[in-house]
């Protein structure tokens, strides 16, 4: 039995991480893929929980050895998804959700063509700017760069299966949970998940 892959992408500041955290707290049998990154940890972030924080040299070595399903460079930092962890988690029957950008999502689809893509949008650019400023984690120069990059990211929304407008957080959480639940009810995963029941019902 194998689980499903859910890709959640969004421009920086759209609320992707908060939505995924709420999804994980409310849904069973789904795990968050923890990426490796060369980005330094932000206050409160933990190694192995938020990211695996590695050096540029470590990241380059892992990539050369084929340890990443996908990797991307964002704002000068590198991010990658562990092949071994993904394969083991899916083989155990768990669904996996990944928080990656559109570049990583494009790469991942080559390995998991049935992955479900979900794109999170802010209700407007002014709101996005306000959210970035409220976080208090970046300088004005970095925020300006993130806003510029956000407009480019949004141009790739057509590559995803679902789109959620994160205007009201609670409603966006319900939307995200609904997508996961609906995908689990598709014929193929349901029949695999309940194979023994199908055998009983058909005989």
Count how many domains the chain has: 1
pLDDT per position as a tens digit, 67-77: 999 888 887 89
Do the domain assignments include residue 64? no
d(CA 5, CA 116): 6
170: left (phi over 0), alpha (psi -120 to 50) or beta: alpha
Do the domain assignments include residue 88? no
Q: Quick one: which H or E segment has residue 77?
A: strand 77-82
**Residue 190's domain spans which residues?**
5-33+94-202
Do the domain assignments include residue 180? yes
Do the domain assignments include residue 29? yes
pLDDT per position as a tens digit, 135-185: 777 788 888 988 998 999 999 999 999 999 999 999 999 999 999 999 999
d(CA 198, CA 190): 10
Q: How many CA atoms lie within 13 A of 174 on its CB side?
A: 5
Token pair in block for residue 130: 């306000």
Do the domain assignments include residue 38? no
Specify the DSSP class assigned to residue 97: E
Question: For position 183, which CATH number holds?
Answer: 3.40.50.300
pTM as predicted: 0.84
């Amino acid at each position: 039995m194998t689980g499903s892959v859910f890709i959640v992408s969004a421009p920086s500041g759209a609320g992707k991480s908060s939505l995924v955290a709420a999804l994980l707290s409310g849904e069973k049998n789904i795990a968050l893929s923890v990426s490796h990154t060369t980005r330094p940890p932000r206050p409160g972030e933990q190694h192995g929980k938020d990211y695996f924080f590695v050096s540029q040299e470590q990241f380059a070595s892992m990539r050369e050895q084929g340890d990443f399903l996908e990797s991307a460079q964002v704002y000068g930092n590198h991010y990658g998804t562990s092949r071994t962890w993904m394969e083991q988690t899916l083989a155990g029957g768990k669904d996996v959700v990944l928080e990656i950008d559109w570049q990583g999502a494009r790469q991942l689809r080559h390995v998991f063509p049935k992955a479900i893509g979900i794109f999170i949008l802010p209700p407007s650019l002014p709101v996005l700017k306000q959210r970035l400023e409220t976080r208090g984690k970046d300088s004005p120069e970095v925020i300006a760069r993130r806003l510029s990059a956000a407009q480019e990211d949004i141009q790739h929304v057509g590559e995803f299966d679902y789109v959620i407008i994160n205007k009201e957080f609670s409603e966006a959480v319900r939307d995200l949970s609904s997508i996961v639940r609906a995908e689990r009810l598709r014929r193929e995963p349901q029949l695999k998940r309940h194979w023994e029941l199908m055998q009983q019902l058909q005989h």
